[in-house]
Homo-oligomer: A and B are copies of this chain.
């Protein structure tokens, strides 16, 4: 399928993907390892993940301390950096977190919003026409502002986090109604609906205005709730967990990238997109930061997809 929006990316044609979110320096401590000020943030992970399928356009802000080598890491994957502003008045958003035994729980030990605090996404004329859009977990009022700037969105994926469920519930509800797909984890779906049962929570979210919902359950996989039915997918069987940071953003980025590449967004396409999202997330968590994600090859992604399909074949 060729439409006016499709452009060449890594040798294939695909619709571009716009990702609005955070770009951060993460300091991460796990039971086995640690990393200091490594590239992170929802938009960085999502764009790198999407880049295996479609040309990503990042919209975010970094500070004067943002390193050239991190910019190059993104550029090398074909990510359009025109929307990545540098605010010389401050430092890049930074987060320090610690994972506990078995990675079941993490604590935020430090969080400095820095230049991200006053970030207001302004889309360029070239970007407002992007058909596939991911609203990363920024404030819901900013997500709405981005939605209002878009001239012809074909498919909008929205993510969120606990704090916006608590503090901007109404605005978030509007985002959820306007987006085509809400991607949340099971803690967030429980908080949004008051229902711990994932199946009930997913159905409730659709009842309250979400067109389509995916609830992520970490090592237990993810469930898609669509008007044509549900689809339950296990996680890829990762046994070398190193750093779960960015798994959810990688999942969403790869999922949206696949949709943009395939040019379709129906139930069948969403299932395939979830499979690719699951595979790419499994690569992310096997190394610190974006290391493995930025270096994975399409061959590796294809091999894992095959393995995942074998795992679920009845």
List residues of chain A with CB under 8 Å of any chain B CB: 102, 104, 196-200, 203, 217, 219-221, 223, 229-234, 237-239, 241, 271-272, 275, 309-314
Contact = CB atoms under 8 A, between A and B. Distances in A.
A312 B308 CA distance: 12
Contacts of A219: 197-198
Contact of A238 (B199, B220, B231, B309): B199
Nearest to A217: B220
- Leading 7 A-B pairs by shortest Cβ distance: A232-B234, A220-B220, A199-B237, A102-B196, A232-B311, A200-B239, A199-B239
B312 A197 contact: no
Contacts of A104: 196
Most buried by B among A234, A237, A309, A312: A234
17 contacts: A102-B197, A197-B241, A199-B239, A200-B239, A221-B232, A221-B234, A229-B311, A231-B311, A232-B237, A232-B311, A233-B312, A233-B314, A234-B234, A271-B313, A272-B314, A275-B314, A312-B314
Contact of A312 (B199, B232, B238, B241): B232
A271 B314 CA distance: 6
A230 B237 contact: yes
Contacts of A310: 229
Total identical chains: 2
A275 to B, nearest CB: 6
A17 to B, nearest CB: 23
Contacts of A238: 199
A312 B104 CA distance: 26
A103 to B, nearest CB: 9
Name, among A199, A229, A241, A271, the residue most crowded by chain B CB atoms within 10 Å (CB to CB): A199
A254 to B, nearest CB: 16
A310 B233 CA distance: 12
A311 B230 contact: yes
A217 B217 CA distance: 13
A237 B224 CA distance: 12
A196 B68 CA distance: 40
Residue of A219, A272, A275 most packed against chain B (CB within 10 A): A219
Contacts of A237: 199, 230, 232
A191 to B, nearest CB: 14
A163 to B, nearest CB: 24
Contacts of A200: 239
A236 to B, nearest CB: 10
